[in-house]
Structure 1
Amino acid sequence: MPTLVRLLTVLALVAGLVVAAMAALIHFVEPRQGTIVQSVPLEGLGRQPIRQRPIGPVPD
């Protein structure tokens, strides 16, 4: 039984540290807002036409 109590105590401490780290991140880190633009090269995409899938049941 003492081993189980020690295990649960260690797990509770680790969980407490994780929660404290998340709370610190929420409190101290300010997110930056902005527009991200990144161009994608079309050569490597294999330009194939997009086939439209039918909406609803497929006829037999």
Structure 2
Amino acid sequence: MPTLVRLLTTLLILAGIIYGIMAALVYFVEPTRREMTVEVPLPQLDPGAPTQSLRR
């Protein structure tokens, strides 16, 4: 039983340290914003293939 308590205590302390680091990152690090453009390739249309209408 003492080894289980020691293991759980160690895991809780490690989880607290990790949680504290994450909280510090949230409060102290400010992300930089910049404009971004992403080109999305359109599929080539086959003139012989039937197309479905999007309207119903």
TM-score for both structures, normalised by structure 1:
0.60
Q: Which runs of 4+ in 1 moved over 2 A?
A: 45-53
- Give the corresponding residue for 2:30: 30
**Identity, % of aligned positions:** 43
- Kindly tell me: are residues 39 and 16 of structure 1, through their superposed partners in 2, closer, same or farther at Cα, counting changes over 3 Å? same
Deviation at 1:27, TM superposition (A): 1.6
Kindly report the root-mean-square deviation, in angstroms, between the aligned alpha carbons of the 2 structures: 2.9
Deviations 1:8-39 (A, max 9, x none): 11110111111111111012100122221133
Report the number of matched residues: 51
- Where does the alignment leave 5 or more consecutive residues of structure 1 unmatched? 56-60
What is the distance in 1 between the residues matched to 2:52 and 2:20? 50
- Give the corresponding residue for 1:7: 7
**1:47 maps onto 2:36 in alignment:** no
